[in-house]
């Protein structure tokens, strides 16, 4: 995999670290990456780690992966090190394009990205957004992100944020459901470790079926559920008064509302 470099990762926590693992698994040269973080802790074999931006190098791409609350601490140090053509890719939840441009006034090519942790396995989903000023960054950013999984570009920042909550927070919600299935199996008598293995493998296989062209989750559910059978009895519990749909809607809406609060905080700093 050839990437535009040098590529700096500012911070390398769970999400940025997952992206780095995915790129390396795709065959990217570790020497193209530099992780910059105060701890200086190793990131991956062959990847340079520094505690501050190098003074003798201009990055082609910068992945901004610090906590959103650290943005105003990091931006004054990072901004002078960037070139006019550097592509700034932010994975900071809730920090809008306008807020990024306010902190990096010299950068024309600014892109927001919302990946999810399965990028580590190159099975992720990444939402992308830029504006007309940054549109010429797309040919470089798009293949970089597609090497990690599905990519969806957006023109509306509100829809980008909503899609980001669905795909970004969604794995955590699904992990909770897997845990709940496993706990239910254990509660009804299965050994807990066996129930966990069954639940996890079942979700993996079911997701693969749902991803096949021409299939819909609703249609697949109906195919499993025979009238008057055991699966139908369970579905009747989930479907009663829209119980499952209502719970998931409230869950996703809570994530959305927290995102709005974070965006407001970033605007006002």
pLDDT tens figures, 234-251: 999 999 999 999 999 999
Between helix 157-164 and helix 243-268 the angle, nearest 10°, is 130
Residue ranges of the chain assigned to CATH 1.10.3730.10 = 165-260
Tell how many helices (H) and how many strands (E) occur in the chain: 10, 8
How far apart CA 56 and CA 81 sit, in angstroms, is: 9
149-154 vs 109-114, strand pairing mode: unpaired
Q: What are phi and psi of 121, to 5 degrees?
A: -100, 5
State both tokens at 243: 């119980």
How buried is residue 245: exposed, middle or buried, by Cβ count under 10 Å (0-12/13-18/19+)?
A: exposed
Using alpha carbons, select from 169, 151, 77, 52 the residue that is nearest to residue 111.
151
Residue ranges of the chain assigned to CATH 3.40.50.720 = 7-155
Q: What are phi and psi of 215, to 5 degrees?
A: -105, 150
Residue with token string 């009238």: 227
Between helix 230-239 and helix 243-268 the angle, nearest 10°, is 40
Q: What are phi and psi of 44, to 5 degrees?
A: -160, 155
Residue with token string 């006034």: 105
How far apart CA 88 and CA 130 sit, in angstroms, is: 10
The confidence band for 50, taking pLDDT boundaries of 50, 70 and 90, is very high
The CATH architecture of the domain made up of 7-155 is 3-Layer(aba) Sandwich (3.40)
pLDDT in tens, 26-43: 999 999 999 999 988 898
How far apart CA 95 and CA 116 sit, in angstroms, is: 17
* Mean pLDDT for the stretch of residues 50-67: 94
How far apart CA 150 and CA 168 sit, in angstroms, is: 12
How far apart CA 244 and CA 18 sit, in angstroms, is: 30
Total number of residues shown for the chain? 269
pLDDT in tens, 166-222: 999 999 999 999 999 999 999 999 999 999 999 999 999 999 999 999 889 999 999
Domain 165-260 top-level CATH class: mainly alpha
C-alpha dist (Å) from residue 80 to 83, 148, 191: 8, 30, 58
State both tokens at 100: 């990024």
* Residue 226 scores a pLDDT above 90: no
109-114 vs 124-129, strand pairing mode: antiparallel
* Residue 2 scores a pLDDT above 80: no
Across the chain, mean pLDDT equals 93
- Residue 13 is given by DSSP the state S
Q: Where are the alpha helices (H) located in the chain, listed in sequence order?
A: 14-25, 71-78, 97-103, 138-146, 157-164, 170-187, 192-210, 217-224, 230-239, 243-268
């Amino acid at each position: 995999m050839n990437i535009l470099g040098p590529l700096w990762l500012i911070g390398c926590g769970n999400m940025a670290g997952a992206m780095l693992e995915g790129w390396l698994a795709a065959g990217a040269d570790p020497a193209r990456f530099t992780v910059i973080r105060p701890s200086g802790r190793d990131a991956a074999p062959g990847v340079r780690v520094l505690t501050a931006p190098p003074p003798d190098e201009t990055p082609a791409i910068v992945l901004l992966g610090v906590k959103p609350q650290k943005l105003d601490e990091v931006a004054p140090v990072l901004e002078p090190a960037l070139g006019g053509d550097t592509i700034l890719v932010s994975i900071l939840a809730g920090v809008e394009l306008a807020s990024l441009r306010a902190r990096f006034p010299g950068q024309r090519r600014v892109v927001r990205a919302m990946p999810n942790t399965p990028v580590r396995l190159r099975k992720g989903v990444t939402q992308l957004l830029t504006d007309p000023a940054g549109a010429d960054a797309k040919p470089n950013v798009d293949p970089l992100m597609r090497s990690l999984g599905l990519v969806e570009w957006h023109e509306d920042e509100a829809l980008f944020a909503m899609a980001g909550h669905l795909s970004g927070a969604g794995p955590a919600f699904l992990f909770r459901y897997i845990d709940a299935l496993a706990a239910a199996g254990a509660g009804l008598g299965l050994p807990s470790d066996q129930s966990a293995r069954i639940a996890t493998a079942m979700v993996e296989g079911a997701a693969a079926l749902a991803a096949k062209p021409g299939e819909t989750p609703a249609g697949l559910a109906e195919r499993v559920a025979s009238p008057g059978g055991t699966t139908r009895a369970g579905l009747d519990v989930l479907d009663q008064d829209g119980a499952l749909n209502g719970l998931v809607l409230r869950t996703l809406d809570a994530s959305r509302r927290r995102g709005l609060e974070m965006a407001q905080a970033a605007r006002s700093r």
